[in-house]
Amino acid sequence: MKIAIIGTGYVGLVTGTCLADTGNEVTCIDVDESKIEKLSQGKVPLYEPGLAEMVVRNASTGRLHFTTRLEDAVRAAAVVYLAVGTPVADDGTADLTALRQVIDRIAPCLAQHAVVAIKSTVPVGTQAEVTERLRQKTGRACDVASNPEFLKEGSALHDFLFPDRIVVGVRRPEVADMLRRLYAPFLRTDRPFLVMSPESAEMTKYVASALLSTRISFINEMANLCEQLDADINEVRRGIGHDQRIGCAFLFPGIGYGGSSLPGDMRALAALAGRLGQAADLITAVDAVNARQKLVLFHKLNDHFQGELQGKTVAVWGIAFKPRTDDIRDAPALTLIDRLLAGGARVHVHDPVAMPNVREIYGEQLLYGNHPMDVLVGVNALVIATEWSEFRNPDFAEMRRRMAAPVIVDGRNLFDLVTMSTEGFTYYSIGRRTVRPSAGDGA
């Protein structure tokens, strides 16, 4: 099947590459000529494990193409995916300017029986708007489906190739049948293909994000209580997670959610409720808890230094909002760095893949290290903000040798409390007691 993907950002590039990998002829389109040129050379402008290799493999077979020539690609396509950016403002409104511009461009060259599938995260009612806009531009009824994405950065290829479910919102069953055939290679393990109204499909995306965000904020608020009561949130999490009604997923305490999906979807859902005159107390509370949780590492550090951050040097391991991605949008680590700099501290940073993005924001305000140990020399404390695997088993003796003071503030609970005490560290974590060096260790 010939497919056009408009937008080569995270969602568009993963979607196009995975569809090409199952034998379809896919053309990815973008207005950014430099990005298209790089992709044509096999250079992927974002970090996602395995994606670059899959792009190169499918491009070499002639199944995956990159172009700025939208009209030619759309004219030949049986399915046209819309994966353009729909950024959400602070007030929760989504900017659909790019989406509307694309609709106006594809209308004159859209094949008679082509299906337009909306992958971008959009407000409820967008499918209806796009359908009407195409009718006005083409003079005929066009098939438009809502096909929301549920990809997790860092595991997006696996999520696409082995989905929990596929959700499509359509007006005609024939459109669902066409998309079912397209997705059939990914549903061989009897994963459900869920057909519903476009409005329900659009709403499903927001509700999924809201529920995941709620679990994160809930466990973080409980972790903060555990610290005050000498309880251990990891033990509590296990105690509730084995209840089949609850489960363990998304119940790991930390420093709040980030990225572009959950924060934007929460703001958009709250704004939607506001426009309808509907109370959204839970949604706004979840977001408020998350905003507070992003400050927890700063408060722990500030308390440790008794409010005297001026002149202190702090190392930060991990800047991306989660491991296995270079995405730093809304990352909790940025909140911490901003507060530290404002307080007069010097900040050393290391992240396995996100350093170029960090440098674009902070320039020479920070000291950058290519290795985790590089940023520890002379620091008064280390903060762990992202749970990269390579941070889990460090050489603690070497860390102590390099640091001016053996202090770790761990926002991801990577280390065992007993180990930290015997290794000679003062160790702060989330939802667990603070530990001090064991007596007689010479710390």
DSSP state of 175: H
- Give 230-244 as a DSSP string: T--HHHHHHHHHTST
pLDDT of residue 189: 86
Angle at 381 between CA 253 and CA 294, to 5 degrees: 35
Domain residues of the chain, as ranges?
Answer: 2-196, 205-293, 296-428
pLDDT per residue, tens digit, the chain (443 aa), is 999 999 999 999 999 999 999 999 999 999 999 999 999 999 999 999 999 999 999 999 999 999 999 999 999 999 999 999 999 998 999 999 999 999 999 999 999 999 999 999 999 999 999 999 999 999 999 999 999 999 999 999 999 999 999 999 999 999 999 999 999 999 988 899 999 999 999 999 999 999 999 999 999 999 999 999 999 999 999 999 999 999 999 999 999 999 989 999 999 999 999 999 999 999 999 999 999 999 999 999 999 999 999 999 999 999 999 999 999 999 999 999 999 999 999 999 999 999 999 999 999 999 999 999 999 999 999 999 999 999 999 999 999 999 999 999 999 999 999 999 999 999 999 999 999 987 544 44
Handedness of CA 431, 432, 433, 437 (dihedral sign): negative
Say if residues 217 and 290 touch (Cβ distance below 8 Å).
yes
Say if residues 207 and 282 touch (Cβ distance below 8 Å).
no
Say if residues 430 and 296 touch (Cβ distance below 8 Å).
yes
In CATH, what number does 205-293 get?
1.10.1040.10
Measured CA to CA, the distance from residue 287 to residue 9 in angstroms comes to: 26
Say if residues 38 and 45 touch (Cβ distance below 8 Å).
yes
Let me know if the fold of 2-196 is the same as that of 296-428. yes
- Class in CATH terms, 2-196: alpha beta
In CATH, what number does 296-428 get?
3.40.50.720
Q: Which residues pair with 27 in a beta bridge?
A: 4, 65
- SS3 label, residue 33: helix
